[in-house]
Amino acid sequence: MRKLLVMLAACAACAAPGAAFAQTATQPMGASPRVERALGQLQTRFSNANTTHDGKLTREQASAGMPMVAKHFDQIDTQKNGYVTLPQIEAFMREHAAQR
């Protein structure tokens, strides 16, 4: 869990100040405030990078707004659709946190 927090915090480090944090179904019920804050920051970063507002982050959008996602884009895009979604990014982070 600690590694997941570190990855989430790293991914959220460039979040826009004052941005609203949206809640999604991907947030675990009863998560600690720290985890919820990190997930909120991840969601904000995703929302800011997703300039087309379609819930899909292209490689170009990831490069511009979420460099960690861009770096691991091919690993996150397991279905090879040419885009990634927030749940896919979260699953990738959970998987890699569990491996460490």
Q: What DSSP state is assigned to residue 19?
A: P
| Residue 5: how many other CB atoms lie within 10 Å | 17
Tokens of 16: 């826009």
Average pLDDT over residues 83-88: 97
**Residue 26, in any domain of the structure:** no
**Residue 94, in any domain of the structure:** yes
Q: What DSSP state is assigned to residue 21?
A: P
**Residue 50, in any domain of the structure:** yes
In this prediction, residue 10 has a pLDDT band, given cuts at 50, 70 and 90, of low
Comparison of pLDDT for 26 and 88, the residue scoring more:
88
Count of domains forming the chain: 1
**Residue 37, in any domain of the structure:** no
Residue 21: per-residue pLDDT: 38
- Residue 83's DSSP bridge partners are 58
Spatial distance between the Cα atoms of 27 and 31, rounded to a whole number of angstroms: 8
Residue 95: per-residue pLDDT: 87
In terms of residue numbers, what domain contains 77? 1-11+43-100
Residue 34: per-residue pLDDT: 81
Comparison of pLDDT for 64 and 15, the residue scoring more:
64
Residue 11: per-residue pLDDT: 52
| Residue 16 · residue 39 · CB < 8 Å | no
Could you read off the pLDDT of 32-66 as tens digits, one per residue? Answer: 788 788 889 999 999 999 999 999 999 999 999 99
CATH number at 99 reads: 1.10.238
Residue 96: per-residue pLDDT: 82
